[in-house]
Amino acid sequence: MNPDLLITSATLPEISFFLSAHPPDSKKKTLTGLIIFSGKLDHKAYDLVITGPGVFNTAHALTVYLEESTPGLILQTGIAGVFRETGLSIGDVAIALEEHYIHTGIATDTPFNAPLPFDLIESSPESREGRYPFDSGLVETCYKKLSQEFVNKKIRAAKGPFITVSTLTSSFKQANLLYSAFAPVMEAMEGAASAHIATLYKIPMIEIRAASNFAGERDKTKWDMGKAAEHLGIACALI
């Protein structure tokens, strides 16, 4: 069966609120141990894959799934670090206008990498820089849904570029440098991998995340993963 929606999350706790509110009807396990949940979201059928963290786990999980099923839409989701310069707070929700895997390219003496001399995806020159733009019309439609839902809940909804990293930002000084270079709303470890695979399989994709912490904050006592997971669960149910 090809579901209307495929949801991908790096870990189970990130998507736990959604699963509690919309319990799956079944689950299965792949040869490599991936768990695929299946259920209903109002009139839509959804599958949900726990990919594991990072670009490699995500690329593997999504490839395994898409070799067997073709969803109508991929929703990459999870918690994330939000950049303080955006004015957003912990618990706020954002949708990506594009993903940027900032470790792609040719290293320079600046925070920016120069483009590779070849496409990572044929006829997608943006892939030379690890950039994956999302469909602007689809993003805008989803952003309006988020804004309308959260306006009375004192939760801000935003849209903007996300960055994918393989090394978590460990200080506010480092976070400031990243923001100066890329002006991202949020950073996480999976989005660009999903965007790359979705592009290869020609499946539309969006990415929605909730802020659990500020980028650069390594003191986990100042994180609020529970609040982020709750707000994320609400957001996912709107898609």
In this prediction, residue 152 carries a pLDDT of: 84
Question: pTM here?
Answer: 0.95
In this prediction, residue 1 carries a pLDDT of: 76
pLDDT in tens, 165-174: 999 899 999 9
Provide the residue count of the chain. 239
pLDDT in tens, 82-107: 999 999 999 999 999 999 999 999 99
Q: What is the mean pLDDT of the chain?
A: 95
In this prediction, residue 123 carries a pLDDT of: 86
**Pairing verdict, β 131-133 and 93-101:** antiparallel
Report all structural domains of the chain as residue ranges with CATH numbers, in order of start: 5-236 (3.40.50.1580)
DSSP the chain: ---SEEEEESSTGGGHHHHHHS--SEEEE-TT--EEEEEEETTEEEEEEE--SSHHHHHHHHHHHHTT---SEEEEEEEEEEPGGG---TT-EEEEEEEEETT-SB--SSSSPBPPSS-SSTT-GGGGGTEEEPPHHHHHHHHHHHHHHHTTTT--EEEEEEEE-SS---SHHHHHHHHHHH--SEEESSHHHHHHHHHHHT--EEEEEEEEEETT---GGG--HHHHHHHHHHHHTT-
Q: Is the pLDDT of residue 237 over 80?
A: yes
Q: Which amino acid is at 55?
A: V
In this prediction, residue 43 carries a pLDDT of: 87
In this prediction, residue 151 carries a pLDDT of: 87
